[in-house]
Amino acid sequence: MRLALWAALAAWLLVLDDAPARAQEGEEPVAPYVQSDANAGATPIDDPAVLAAFNGRDGINRIVDRTVDLSLEDPQLGPIFQPFDMVRLRRTLKEQFCYLLGGGCTYTGRDMSASHADMGVQTRDFNLLVQHLRTAMREEGVSNRMQNRFLAVLAPMHRDVVQR
């Protein structure tokens, strides 16, 4: 019994320790979760040529902001994104893309299943988002070949984002 209590306390402290202690500036609080780069959902691309093609962290940040802007303006996707905290989404997406593109960032967000649970995202939504991401990458001057290398990393996340 005492052991069980200690185990519960240890597990609780572990969660508290790993989760962001409180909401970041300008963001709404979220329920505690275990923070890990593994939550980013894939292994980073280990090729400096790819990071260079995206114009480093500044380029990645511009691409994320443009993708989110285009998604919010989209009549199909806008209403899906609108109710959520876009300050947090922009920050965690920038971290995730930077991490996956080998930019040396830490991903502090939730995993892809938890992030999209009960949202009802369908394949056509997923494809629209990819289309907006392609536009943003093209505007940043990322070649088709380099775009495809990144999209190949994101594509398997379909199974965790889209609801059947």
- Rounded Cα distance between 65 and 69, Å, is 6
User: What tokens appear for 99 in the block?
Assistant: 């991490």
Residue with tokens 């320790």: 17
Tell me which of 109, 132, 137, 150 binds ligand HEM, using CB under 6 A: 109
- Rounded Cα distance between 97 and 70, Å, is 17
Chain position whose Cβ is nearest to ligand HEM: 109
CB of 10 to ligand HEM, least distance (A): 24
CB of 139 to ligand HEM, least distance (A): 19
CA distances from 93 to 1, 25, 97, 110 (A): 43, 16, 6, 11
Print the binding letters for residues 111-140 with ligand HEM: x by CB under 6 A, - otherwise. Answer: ----xx--x-x---xx--x-----------
CB of 80 to ligand HEM, least distance (A): 5
Q: Between 10 and 124, whose beta carbon lies closer to ligand HEM?
A: 124
Does position 157 interact with ligand HEM (CB under 6 A)? The reply is yes
User: What tokens appear for 7 in the block?
Assistant: 């185990």
Q: What is the DSSP letter of 44?
A: P
Question: Taking CB under 6 A as the criterion, which residues in 20-79 touch ligand HEM?
Answer: 77
